[in-house]
Structure 1
């Protein structure tokens, strides 16, 4: 399968999903709740979702900084696949589902928010 260049919006969303998965400690429960509510209300259009994520991140400086680093790395490395984990089980993360750039959508972000919520609730954060 040949990949085309990942758009800014797709890179932006993929980086945000990775941030939710791997740096959940940056997000409070209130922030995760806010994200869930707003993203649920948006259309499943990556341009709209990406614009919201960018605007939301600018209000949260530490998150914005980390998300920008990941996004820029994805763009410069042409790294098209972030991975999103299935909700954690008692034994950790048994499955990973690759995100192909053509499959980035609202549900992937909502799944990542749920994963981050479970991590925050249990004070369990993946080791970088």
Structure 2
């Protein structure tokens, strides 16, 4: 299992994995079957089966033995999939299943915290739209 903030090819490279082609190119960077990553703030799973890559956004995904996965839990802080709720996963390694969850939180309070910290209003406003 690999855990990384962004893509695992170049440590600290800050590259995005958000398209099938990017995921396909990334699989050569790790030999393990699972890579959990973030950076895009987009919840979903890229699955490589044989030589094909698929993208999945189901709430519950059963992982197949022998396939490789790039798994993004989304974001607790700044979701970017047009859903302002926070996103996380639970990975059950015994049943080989990943479940995605969404939870409401006090977006207004979080936005105020961003503004009170002196950060740009862009970061506060995007929370309401999930972008």
Report the TM-score, using the length of structure 2 for normalisation.
0.27
Flag the structure with higher strand content.
Answer: 2
By percentage of residues, which structure has more helix? 1
Larger relative contact order (C-alpha < 8 A, sep ≥ 6)?
1
Structure-1-length-normalised TM-score = 0.27
